[in-house]
A and B are shown apart, each in its own frame.
Chain A
């Protein structure tokens, strides 16, 4: 019994950290999609954030500056996507895929000399009293600031979307851009801002991996997490609270399979590494069967090109 309890603490802690990058990337993409834009470039924006964040943090010794630089890098990638799809009316799916390929290549090029360099870990917060609680103390109250920021973003994004006028306008633009335009809302401007936000969030998600989770820079180190974040947005049927559940599910299975591998079960490790992705896909398929829920929450104009005079 006590062995299980001892096991639980670190698993819980690891699950929260594994879920954090997904949470940032998915919440950013959720806001983007709610405005009616489908940006498949999350993976590329995360990599840009990861490499730039790492470089800045390693050169300055400040992880805070690293995260800021990563957010700016993701934002710049988002701006590129916005100019192409919203300004020049390029196809969103093709542009998003290209953005991911671009991010993979660019980050590898820029980060060439930085592979394998050590970096100062981001310090964990300590809350006197709580952090010293047995089992759950270190897991719940001994994480670094980004974990808590990620968790705080869930209610913040929910509040913005569903309780503020700006959020209402953003949802309206994603639901029916022609009507929003007819009522005088600046569809392109609103979408561009949403895309910038999504880019910055993806950048932070990437930097969390390179500054905190691993912490080091390696080529293609996001390992498909950008795609999982995209899937989570759909899985959550565009609801921030469910994004959190999805991120925990993915994070939980990731950690669980690592522990199973660590205990030397006779299952090929490749199969176990597949598990988080497999679990996420299964849940996605199950959720997508509920047509009604998708129709009610999916932004109706998702991925559609908007011509102001059309």
Chain B
């Protein structure tokens, strides 16, 4: 059979940014009706390539051919007029606007009134089984529903090429299943799908072909169903991959962290209230907390780190001492270290150098400050020790935090906390948006830390990660925490059901349950 005209054919796309070649003569042909994976580590040039296709950025050289015809895509409006739709990784949604308003902003048809649009939204969402209420505000929606808004926005324009950037990083396994059904159906109707993900198993389950980028170049094209997750990962990083090793836990330690009946109240929109959360982490073990974002993770993290103080001081205990009334610094002095989910802004100050960032949390337990005067020499050598021990790729301790790639900055931040020899480490999303090589290194570091006798609490949405790391797993849903289960006695599917709200006494949490089943 003669190969059909590609829906979109990229030839020799090159894009240079100051200091790096993001795309280096990339050729990519996307056929009608195929689901095509785009793989690569952070910084391999995937986002740049996709932005060029969607008209957000422009190639320095190279051509784009849409259904055999050379085109220039000057901006996203032009891309949408051609029939290209895009679902962004960081959703391009507006929290305080309604679903219908959000969709109106993302389509080219400017004449339709919001009322007519709502009717069309209902029709499309019914047709594809993507339940959506056009009149609700986006801040009111779960993450899965937000993604539905993005998808419906694309579908309303009958796209012929749909780009999905990391679409499943925030979904429960059941939601992922439903998304895949929708995508397969779209592909069967002739729509081409360009699918970007770090999750190699998903790519093997979903995609017909895969193109691998490394350092801005296409290094391989393959059929992912004939590869293993490991071989795909090795194509991406270009060397062989070490798998984190985890010895069976021998937990005999005393409880380092206890949380007893912790409840919080909030009058802030977009926030979740914690309801009667209890947990315990012992020395030497790793407890994982799974859950879809927005179910109370941020609030739990803030309550444990000391960013929000608890009225009942005995609700949080570090080594038996009530600390609910203590702020972050006092808790750090007691042996708590924590790595927040947002690397830039919470975990590190983007504009400060690495040694200054090392100082910011390190001074509580390392001798970096004496009588209020900073000892810059020690801060520098502390930063250099972190860079050295955790293989942080950077041009030195003077580099600004924001100049590092996500994976390298995360290694630096986790290293900074680990080198303080904490008694208890709390980590939020340790490998979110981090490439496979750095993720493996971070996982190994956390496991080694726990085996050395530290209690570790990991809050993550990535179930594969939790199963690699944790001895026990609990699930956070609508501010409630499920009892923990040893990770070898449960499965991804069971945890996934809990993430959708299927545990005891959750009758008030309407809606979610019905949709999971």
Contact = CB atoms under 8 A, between A and B. Distances in A.
Contacts of A180: 92, 94, 105
A99 interface: no
Interface stretch (B262-270, B304-312, B381-389, B504-512): B262-270
Contact of B95 (A169, A175, A184, A185): A175
Contacts of B90: 178
B268 A184 contact: no
A292 B55 contact: no
Contacts of A182: 56, 76, 88, 92
B417 interface: no
B91 interface: yes
A175 B97 contact: yes
Contacts of B325: none
Interface in B90-142: 90-97, 101, 104-106, 110, 139
Number of chain B interface residues as a range: 20 to 34
A183 B106 contact: yes
A191 interface: no
Interface in A99-146: none
A168 B88 contact: no
B96 A175 contact: yes
A19 B139 CA distance: 36
Contact of B55 (A165, A171, A184, A291): A184
B21 to A, nearest CB: 16
Contact of A168 (B55, B91, B97): B97
The winner among A171, A180, A183, A296 for most chain B CB atoms within 10 A is A183
B75 interface: yes
A184 B97 contact: no
A263 interface: no
Contacts of A172: 94, 97, 101, 105
Interface string A151-189: 000000000000001001101100110111111110000
A292 B97 contact: no
Contacts of A291: 267-268
A292 B267 CA distance: 6
A236 to B, nearest CB: 16
Nearest to A293: B269
B77 interface: yes
A292 B140 CA distance: 13
Interface string B50-63: 00000111000000
B92 A183 contact: yes
Nearest to A289: B267
A69 interface: no
A185 B106 CA distance: 10
Contacts of B139: 296
B110 A300 contact: no
B269 A179 contact: no
B101 A184 contact: no
A168 B90 CA distance: 21
Contacts of B110: 165
Given A168-B101, A292-B267, A184 B77 contact: yes
B269 A292 contact: yes
B56 to A, nearest CB: 6
Contact of B105 (A183, A296, A309): A183
Contacts of B96: 175, 296-297, 300
Interface string B238-278: 00000000000000000000000000000111100000000
A184 B90 CA distance: 16
Contacts of A165: 104, 110
Contacts of B77: 184
Given A165-B104, A184-B76, A176 B267 contact: no
A296 B106 CA distance: 21
A80 to B, nearest CB: 28
Interface of B: 55-57, 75-77, 79-80, 88, 90-97, 101, 104-106, 110, 139, 267-270
22 contacts: A175-B94, A176-B92, A178-B90, A178-B92, A179-B91, A179-B94, A180-B94, A181-B56, A182-B88, A182-B92, A183-B92, A184-B55, A184-B75, A184-B76, A184-B80, A185-B105, A292-B267, A292-B268, A295-B269, A296-B96, A296-B269, A309-B57
Given A168-B101, A178-B90, A309-B57, 7 more contacts: A172-B97, A172-B101, A179-B92, A182-B92, A183-B105, A183-B106, A184-B76
| 7 shortest interchain CB distances as A-B pairs | A184-B76, A179-B92, A175-B94, A184-B77, A182-B92, A184-B75, A172-B94
